[in-house]
Structure 1
Amino acid sequence: MSDEYAPVPAANPVIPGFHPDPSICRVGEDYYLACSSFEYFPGIPVFHSRDLVNWVQIGNALDRPGQLRLPRDTPSSGGLYAPTLRHHDGRFWLIVTNVTPGEGNLIVTATDPAGPWSDPVRLPGVPGIDPDLAWDEDGTCWCTVAGVSQIRIDPGTGETFGELRPVWSGTPGAAAPEAPHLYRIGDHWYLLIAEGGTERGHCVSVARGPSPDGPFEPCPANPILTRRSTSGPVQNTGHADLVQAVDGSWWMVLLGVRPQGGTPGWHVLGRETFLAPVSWVDGWPVVGEVGPELPTMPWPLVPTPPSAERDDFASTELRHSWISLLDRPAEHYSTRERPGWLTLRARGASLDEPDAVLLGRRQQHLTFRARTLIDPAEGSGGLAVRLDDRHHYAVEARPDGTARVIARIGSLRTVAAELPLPTGPVVLTVHTGRAPEPHDARTGPDTLIFGVEASDGTMTDMASLDGRYLSTEVAGGFTGRVVGLYATEGAVHFDWFDYLPGHR
């Protein structure tokens, strides 16, 4: 470590926004991490870091139609669940569940985690979700799934050996033993799982045994991590993975949420990736505090430049962070049709359709502002904040010269405001604002304010909508808010998009 290095505070979450179910591995001095992506395409974002704190997305593991089938009737929170990312024998291995009927568990591999990743190897003999991969000393590959059950496999062919057998059911009385990860650490094999469901009762427990298939004895201090029955700013902590750092220290990545507002507290960004230190006491892992601030890291941080918050669509290739619903066919998404512009061609008649044409990015900050310059001469479209196909808000420009704010909340759909527009392209905006009545226990997490911006920069707010209705506590499911561009009629052209964190 350089004598000139001055330790600086590190912040949680280390990957903010809808990035749940993190799985991590280290190769030399490099760390790689993958997360769930559910109904969005491309699937399974892959990140790189040199310090466990600053992460850059380097690709997506399933980014070709031949790798990922998400049919038109895929529901919100369907699709890809809970990957495990590992490095073995010179290759990266990623196993994941596609809960689409007829799909199931699959494995893709790569020599470079930035891609390309292989076509999938199917695992028809491995039922269930949350699959894990671990290799023992003689090269046998063990696949463990939620439940918690286990089977030996050939990860190169998908062949299974023997019968799927239960290995540990978790803590008696605890719901949903899932998210298993198996490790050889010292003299023991450790089995790390999540329990309690992915809501406020979520927790992490661990057991250990003499071999990969047990028998496993539970840690007497289980759960080793939970935030249930606490009032801290980070809740729902669970679905964890362990990694040993270059200096020999141990760390845990896990999902958590940041509820806002009154009772019961609404989280709108989805389940985010947090980091926690781990120590070992009597052969068991002890997890440090999970909060907004991390302890001073024992090595120099490698800060990455802030992600580009503006996209002028100058490249023919879209950035890794852009996501779409189910797929991204060239006839509906193009930066070539009008150079320097994004062209979206409608497929569904509204954002209520599960396969609507949407190009979005995860909302990663509790407060933000997003804007876009849209040309609606050939169709209708606009700027949306989406949680799922039944919970979304949008400001939409139409070729008839009007803008309108549309709100969909469950079975209700309404036009909240309408405004005439000047001729030609127009800037659409959305930004967060504080909910009113801060002492009211019913106060929501935020408000979302939609409007238009004139050529002189003058803002006209059209509607202020309660943010609690775009939260998991209201809508259910496993995802978080996505801010993006969409088309619901004809062809719509977007000159640029920008996203500014911390704006009210």
Structure 2
Amino acid sequence: MSELPNPLIPGFNPDPSCVLVDDIYYLVTSSFEYLPALPVYRSTDFVAWEHIGNVATREEQVGLARTVSGAGVWAPTIRYHDGVFHVIVSVMDSPRGCVVFTADGPAGPWSDGLTIDGIVGIDPDLAWDERGVAYVTYSALELDLVEGTGSHGGIRQARVDLEAGKALEEPRSLWSGTGLTAPEAPHLYLRNGYWYLLIAEGGTESGHSVSVARSSTIEGPFEGAPGNPVLSASGTGRPVQCTGHADLVRGPHGADLLVLLGTRRALAATPLGRETYVTGVEWIDGWPQPAPVDLDPHPEPLHEHFAFAEGTGLADPGWLSVGRMPTEVASVEERLGHLTIRAASGGIDAFRPDFVGRRQRHLKSVFETGIDPSDGRGGLGLRFDEDFTVALIAERAPGGRGTRVTARACLPALTQTWSAEVAGDRVGLRLVTDVPLNGKALSKSGDLIRLIVVEECGAETQLAALDGRFWSAETAAPFTGRVTGMFAEEGAVHFTEFRYHGEGRS
């Protein structure tokens, strides 16, 4: 698919689902413990994608107040039926369970969501048969996150009443793959007189695969394709790994495309987590055959600048906070020309940090903010979860003259810091990620994270340079990705601007 960029939606954007409505594509991805939840992307050509909104913009819609990191909003499906957009999703470690949201338009507002009683599992798909009867097909995984136990009942399905919010029958077992671990991510499609069931199996790491079966009826029985799994990067040296969790959609030129999750490496690590990719599909003897997934990142660089004095605040849909909406954590005070975060729950390493951030979408990136710490202590931080963080922390220097800046790297049971005092009451904080060319094809390191303070006069001081493999999916949180932004850990901290630069082709 050389004419399409890959990743299609870069950064922390796993478990994609896509629908075509009136020649426009809409795509949603998982968001886990973050709010707003379920980002919605729009495209007319499958090349340029715009983040137009989020399905859940209130905590009550998804019930994340007490959800642990890595749980939360898992694996949505977006569909369009009778003039209404539907997003169905499982919310793990939440009272909401399996929820269906509806909207007249994909940018929202979306409904409060209706829980579907009788559907216990993850990765729900929503489909309607030829008579208009609704079916939910899902992966019957039941987890106890407190005890660390679980059971897996394979792929199941039930007819549902979307108005009453309940299953109309005891869920039946459906086709559950070839015997690889963790059958999940089912999606159903009616094509040429057959119902095709697409699933993922092999786990969401290196063994991730796509398999397919078909039946003459939506309820089965289903027959597996002779070449299953039809797509996998397992055991290969391909640049995109962990390919799975796929959804099928007609492309702009009429041929089928597969959107799916995948990962790419910076040397020996995966810093951006699971991203959304695309590949073409051929139909051979009545079976879909996806092409191997290529790597061809967007060629153009990305620049974002939020100048809070100019009223550029938190309206952009790409801002994220953990378990709360960004507007509950931060406020833009245009008259004073800054965004203020007040410490209430804790710094970036807290369970519910006072933190607002954005996805890292390029391997080579620069995050930067201007900070006035005269009323508190806080700064610029990178988060995988509360146990894996990197931060630049600014506070008034002892004696009240100048600013002390501390670079802090945190891993479970290990914290290291580096400090410097600089002139001025306001400073710039900069976090840079890069992939060094060290000539070692089998390097065990990851990308390079550099932590820099910039004085008002323009002088720069690098406080630390870190091996990014410790803040990557292999070591830290496997489901999400890096989110970097502003935080407070004491008092009120003021920020004048926020910038992101991502280098093209990275």
* Common fold: TM-score over 0.5: yes
8 Å CA contact 1:21–1:36 kept in 2: the answer is: yes
The number of residue pairs the alignment matches comes to 484
> Matches of 1:389 and 1:282 in 2, distance apart?
50
> Matches of 2:124 and 2:299 in 1, distance apart?
31
Name the counterpart of 2:129: 136
From 53, 62, 68, the equivalent of 1:68 is 62
Q: CA deviation at 1:316?
A: 5.3
Task: Quickly say closer, same or farther: Cα 1:382–1:329, change in 2 above 3 A.
Answer: closer
Task: Quickly say closer, same or farther: Cα 1:483–1:25, change in 2 above 3 A.
Answer: same
Name the counterpart of 1:58: 52
Higher mean C-alpha deviation, range 381-390 or range 332-341: 332-341
Name the counterpart of 2:484: 483
- AA of the residue aligned to 1:150: Q
| Secondary structure, aligned partner of 1:66 | helix
Name the counterpart of 1:298: none
Name the counterpart of 1:269: 272
Q: CA deviation at 1:257?
A: 0.2
> Matches of 2:264 and 2:328 in 1, distance apart?
38
- AA of the residue aligned to 1:311: F
Q: CA deviation at 1:169?
A: 1.7
| Secondary structure, aligned partner of 1:320 | coil
From 112, 137, 144, the equivalent of 2:105 is 112
Matches within 5 A, 1:190-229: 190-229=196-235
From 322, 339, 342, the equivalent of 2:339 is 342
- AA of the residue aligned to 1:429: R
> Matches of 1:330 and 1:435 in 2, distance apart?
37
Q: CA deviation at 1:386?
A: 1.2
8 Å CA contact 2:424–2:455 kept in 1: the answer is: no
Q: CA deviation at 1:308?
A: 5.1
- AA of the residue aligned to 1:221: G
Deviations 1:21-64 (A, max 9, x none): 00000002100000000010000000000111211100000012
Deviations 1:335-360 (A, max 9, x none): 13755321111123332212001111
Task: Quickly say closer, same or farther: Cα 1:48–1:334, change in 2 above 3 A.
Answer: same
Unaligned runs of 5+ in 2: 140-153, 398-402
Q: Confirm whether residue 470 of structure 1 aligns to residue 471 of structure 2.
A: yes
Deviations 1:401-459 (A, max 9, x none): 310011111221222x1011323111011112445854284531211010111233332
| Secondary structure, aligned partner of 1:290 | coil
> Matches of 1:15 and 1:210 in 2, distance apart?
34
Task: Quickly say closer, same or farther: Cα 1:97–1:339, change in 2 above 3 A.
Answer: farther
| Secondary structure, aligned partner of 1:251 | strand
Scaled by the length of structure 2, the TM-score of the pair is: 0.92
Q: Confirm whether residue 280 of structure 1 aligns to residue 277 of structure 2.
A: no
Q: Confirm whether residue 170 of structure 1 aligns to residue 170 of structure 2.
A: no
- AA of the residue aligned to 1:459: E
From 17, 21, 33, the equivalent of 1:39 is 33
Q: CA deviation at 1:186?
A: 1.1
> Matches of 1:255 and 1:112 in 2, distance apart?
25
Name the counterpart of 1:409: 411
> Matches of 2:433 and 2:301 in 1, distance apart?
21
Name the counterpart of 1:361: 358
Deviations 1:111-134 (A, max 9, x none): 110010011101121100000000
- AA of the residue aligned to 2:87: L
Q: CA deviation at 1:8?
A: 8.7
Matches within 5 A, 1:389-400: 389-400=386-397
Higher mean C-alpha deviation, range 149-158 or range 267-276: 149-158
Higher mean C-alpha deviation, range 109-118 or range 436-445: 436-445
Deviations 1:375-404 (A, max 9, x none): 101111111111111111011101333100
Deviations 1:307-326 (A, max 9, x none): 65111131454210010111
> Matches of 1:10 and 1:206 in 2, distance apart?
24
Higher mean C-alpha deviation, range 341-350 or range 80-89: 341-350
Task: Quickly say closer, same or farther: Cα 1:336–1:86, change in 2 above 3 A.
Answer: same
Name the counterpart of 1:451: 452
Q: Confirm whether residue 79 of structure 1 aligns to residue 45 of structure 2.
A: no
- AA of the residue aligned to 2:462: D
> Matches of 2:325 and 2:376 in 1, distance apart?
19
Higher mean C-alpha deviation, range 209-218 or range 310-319: 310-319
8 Å CA contact 1:315–1:340 kept in 2: the answer is: no
Q: Confirm whether residue 89 of structure 1 aligns to residue 82 of structure 2.
A: yes
- AA of the residue aligned to 1:142: Y
Higher mean C-alpha deviation, range 7-16 or range 135-144: 7-16
Higher mean C-alpha deviation, range 475-484 or range 430-439: 430-439
From 300, 310, 321, the equivalent of 2:318 is 321
Name the counterpart of 1:310: 305
8 Å CA contact 1:13–1:272 kept in 2: the answer is: yes
Higher mean C-alpha deviation, range 347-356 or range 197-206: 347-356
Using the aligned pairs only, state the percent identity: 43
Name the counterpart of 1:259: 265
> Matches of 1:433 and 1:252 in 2, distance apart?
30
Q: Confirm whether residue 20 of structure 1 aligns to residue 23 of structure 2.
A: no
8 Å CA contact 1:429–1:451 kept in 2: the answer is: yes
CA RMSD of aligned residues (A): 2.1
| Secondary structure, aligned partner of 1:335 | strand
Q: CA deviation at 1:502?
A: 2.2
8 Å CA contact 2:42–2:52 kept in 1: the answer is: yes
Scaled by the length of structure 1, the TM-score of the pair is: 0.92
- AA of the residue aligned to 1:169: S
8 Å CA contact 1:337–1:343 kept in 2: the answer is: no
Q: Confirm whether residue 351 of structure 1 aligns to residue 348 of structure 2.
A: yes
